[in-house]
Structure 1
Amino acid sequence: MNFSAALPTFVITLREGVEAALVVGIVLALLKKAKQSKLNSWVYAGVGVGIAASALVGLLFSAIIQAVGSINPEYTPVVEPLMEGVFSVIAIAMLSWMLIWMTRQARFLKAEVEGTVTAALKQNNGAGWGVFSLIFIAVLREGFETVLFIAANFQQGFFPAIGAIGGLVSAIAIGFLLFKWGVKINIRLFFQIMGVLLLLIVAGLVVSALAHFDTAIATLAKLNRQSESLCFYYERFTRNPSCILGPRVWNTSKILPDEQFPGVILKALFGYRDDLFLVQAISYVAFLVTVGGIYFRSLGMGVSKPKSESATTHQSISSGSKET
């Protein structure tokens, strides 16, 4: 049983879940301060419906994959890796964008949530729906990213889903530590560490996506002679098992296989592959240089005022713990 498949989704769900937990905690603290605790039920409803909606999106993706695969059973070996590759590309785009966007917006999170809640409370009849919408969108946004990642790895069975559940439970526990029991945690450091791990996981997803496309095209070339030209590299270098990925960079399957410990951990968290090809290696490095560079520059945007931001973070945490 490959429990390592649960590690990436655990990290992703933990990070995204803590972001949602911060929003929930801040909202509950603000409602308590405004003596509007009667609206807490709308907060919990938003969390529940957001999680349920994320699960439904996951089921929808699974249904789409099965429906497409059943159109022509002969081409199922082509459709499955192709769909994995497509979902991988979508997940890469979404996770990368959210990583950078949330890093840039983190310093304004508390102010934005306060403004939204204050505006909702001014609407006597629609205050509950305003709070519900804020929480629902926050939870659904984070859940959608996890669902995309799971969909991109659907052949790994239920283990990615187990990792997502573990990450969700851990995120809820951290939320209680922060806002219920007043435990001080360096949120900035937590998100920086999780951000780097997420960056490496998504870089590994780039390698996997290319492998899925290579498998799909190679299988199609075998099934349909008219598609043989798509597998251009294999036709020129028949000794190399790559179809579109170029020459092999290394094959360390006998030294450090990626299906056994510790290679399986390196594969899950850092994108290691025991059989790597040139296009994969270039794409991996290019992703880290471009997206990683943007991410680390985003971290540097708040370096000039670390004390004030740290004080704001601790103030929101302490206010949440005292008022609850």
Structure 2
Amino acid sequence: MLAPFLIMLREGLEAALITGIIATYLRQTGRSAWMPLVWIGIFLAVAMSLFVGAALQWVSAEFPQKMQELFEACVGLVAVVVLTSMVFWMRKAARSIKAELHHSIDNALHSSAAGWALIGMVFFAVAREGLESIFFLLAIFQQSTGPAMPLAALAGVLISVAAGFAIYFGGLRLNLKRFFRWTGIFILFVAAGILAGAVGSLHEAGLWNGLQTPAWDLSAVLPVSSVLGAVLSGLLGYQESPSIGEVIVYLAFLAVSLYFFLQPYTPSAEAHSTAALKPAEGSNA
């Protein structure tokens, strides 16, 4: 339950920060009249994300059992790629995103089709976060049942929207560097659990039959149906009786991804010159 909440909080806050930077820059440069187009871009992106999610869910419901397992594996693999790339992208872009967005706004509003350019800019920025969220939620909902997960995800979105408005109007300041670092580590653990689940789905689909010996069986000690087991399952991808293959994939992914994520990030010379155009976001917004 905590996993969808925190990830949707992070995804929503990323989208809120991007749109907040755009809205603030328009206001500061006397271009507030363009704000309705920003809202159009946001609504179009949200609508498209919801449509894609509903379409994927509807299509998957028509599949036979083995095809359903293959679909779940594919969604899980896509979710892992999306979540991992999102974590590393924000780690790289956080320092210069403000200056880059300001530059993109200026270019959009000086183009021959300024209105469409601004709508498109906002649309693609928010749609990126929306599609990331859709693939994650599909993957996590397929591995969990009940209303708790959707409600937790909705709570994360609502709080991120409220935080976005509070940041925009100056009432809330967050240590964004620390927030994205710790949520990034958490998301990598979630992605490892989704990846292990995808390996299990590939086995159920008949496409992967190696290393299927159970690594351990804790069903009598810590079943997934227990409160602690459910929490660990949602947070860390815990399974009471995983196969050796699932354990290997889980640990290998974590070892590689955490190693690179925890390395000190050294911006390139180009990034330094871009960041010098405007003060970096730094640790507060």
Q: TM-score, normalised by structure 1?
A: 0.78
- Distance (Å, rounded) in 2 between the aligned partners of 1:257 and 1:88: 23
- Distance (Å, rounded) in 2 between the aligned partners of 1:157 and 1:258: 14
- Distance (Å, rounded) in 1 between the aligned partners of 2:253 and 2:33: 47
Q: Tell me whether 1:175 sits opposite 2:175 in the alignment.
A: no
In the alignment, is the contact (CA less than 8 A) between 1:14 and 1:170 conserved in 2?
yes
Q: In the alignment, which residue of structure 2 is the partner of 1:129?
A: 116
Q: In the alignment, which residue of structure 1 is the partner of 2:238?
A: 272
Q: In the alignment, which residue of structure 2 is the partner of 1:40?
A: 35
Q: Tell me whether 1:258 sits opposite 2:224 in the alignment.
A: yes
Q: Cα–Cα, structure 1 residues 315 and 200, in superposed 2: closer, same or farther, change >3 Å?
A: closer
- Distance (Å, rounded) in 2 between the aligned partners of 1:129 and 1:315: 33
Q: In the alignment, which residue of structure 1 is the partner of 2:12?
A: 17
1:8: how far off? Answer: 2.4
One-letter code of the match for 1:137?
F
Structure 1 segment 119-198 matched on structure 2, within 5 A: 119-123=107-111, 126-155=113-142, 156=145, 159-198=148-187
- Distance (Å, rounded) in 1 between the aligned partners of 2:261 and 2:153: 24
Structure 1 segment 81-120 matched on structure 2, within 5 A: 81-120=69-108
Please list every run of 5 or more consecutive structure 2 residues that lacks an aligned counterpart in the other structure: none
Q: In the alignment, which residue of structure 2 is the partner of 1:59?
A: 54
1:145: how far off? Answer: 1.1
- Distance (Å, rounded) in 2 between the aligned partners of 1:291 and 1:196: 9
Q: Tell me whether 1:249 sits opposite 2:215 in the alignment.
A: yes
In the alignment, is the contact (CA less than 8 A) between 2:211 and 2:245 conserved in 1?
yes
Q: In the alignment, which residue of structure 2 is the partner of 1:312?
A: 280
Q: TM-score, normalised by structure 2?
A: 0.88
Q: Which has the higher helix share?
A: 1
> How far does the alpha carbon of each residue in 1:90-110 deviate from its partner, in whole angstroms, 9 at most, with x for none?
111121122112211211100
Which of the residues 68, 82, 89 maps onto 1:80?
68
Name the SS for the 1:89 alignment partner: helix
- Distance (Å, rounded) in 2 between the aligned partners of 1:159 and 1:58: 18
1:27: how far off? Answer: 0.6
- Distance (Å, rounded) in 2 between the aligned partners of 1:14 and 1:267: 19
Percent of matched pairs sharing the same residue: 29
Name the SS for the 2:171 alignment partner: coil
Q: In the alignment, which residue of structure 1 is the partner of 2:266?
A: 301
Please list every run of 5 or more consecutive structure 1 residues that lacks an aligned counterpart in the other structure: 70-75, 218-229, 232-242, 318-324
Q: In the alignment, which residue of structure 1 is the partner of 2:249?
A: 283
What's the Cα RMSD here?
A: 2.3
Between structure 1 and structure 2, the one with the greater Rg is 1
